[in-house]
A and B are shown apart, each in its own frame.
Chain A
């Protein structure tokens, strides 16, 4: 198993551009989540999904969209990038809602 994979590893965007961060897992996990990590703030939940076709907002959803058309994939879309979205983004998945496995992260810089 590859576990949780994320692409790209690094990305630089200009303000106003859009892009999609990819997340995939090959463990047939129902639960998937997106977090952002900022210095001194820990990880904050952006969006999460409890199964294909079901998504919901987390703590900081503004400026981000998600969809879950398959069990394996959970892409995160930035609609119009802003400097405040400069962060490290982590995707996580699990079969148990109370234990999550994290991907290696995507480091995003918005200029």
Chain B
């Protein structure tokens, strides 16, 4: 079975500061990992994904994440926060049966202060 834990339900950073959103996963098979972003009153948009290959994955809007198997982590980072990054972020792992089932973390709300 798969599970995802996002550390910190709320993260607050100043504009221009480093963004770090933490995600740890549990999976009995090699995982596929995802980060989604949700802006207020909207659906989810894929930021980036890791399937196989390079462990450092670059996504949209300057975000990137690194798959660390030894730490079972897939933390999301951005070097310099922008006000427009304020949103809720979800980490997800694919289901082991490869049927399109995603298991989501609880979500982290990112606040960006001017």
Contact = CB atoms under 8 A, between A and B. Distances in A.
Q: Does more than half of chain A's interface fall in helix, strand or loop, or is it mixed?
A: strand
A45 B101 contact: yes
B104 A43 contact: yes
A4 B45 CA distance: 12
Interface string B10-51: 000000000000000000000010101000001111100101
What band does the interface of chain B fall in when counting residues whose beta carbon is under 8 Å from A? Answer: 20 to 34
Given A90-B44, A105-B43, A48 B104 contact: no
A99 B46 contact: yes
B104 A98 contact: no
Contact of A48 (B43, B90, B92, B101): B101
Contacts of B103: 45
Interface residues of A, number: 27
Contact of B100 (A43, A97, A103): A97
B42 A31 contact: no
Contact of B102 (A56, A100, A103): A100
A20 B94 CA distance: 27
B94 A97 contact: yes
Contacts of B100: 31-33, 48, 50, 94, 97-98, 100
A107 B39 CA distance: 15
**What are the nearest 4 A-B pairs in CB distance?**
A31-B100, A42-B104, A102-B43, A97-B100
Interface of B: 4, 6, 9, 32, 34, 36, 42-46, 49, 51, 90, 92, 94, 98-107
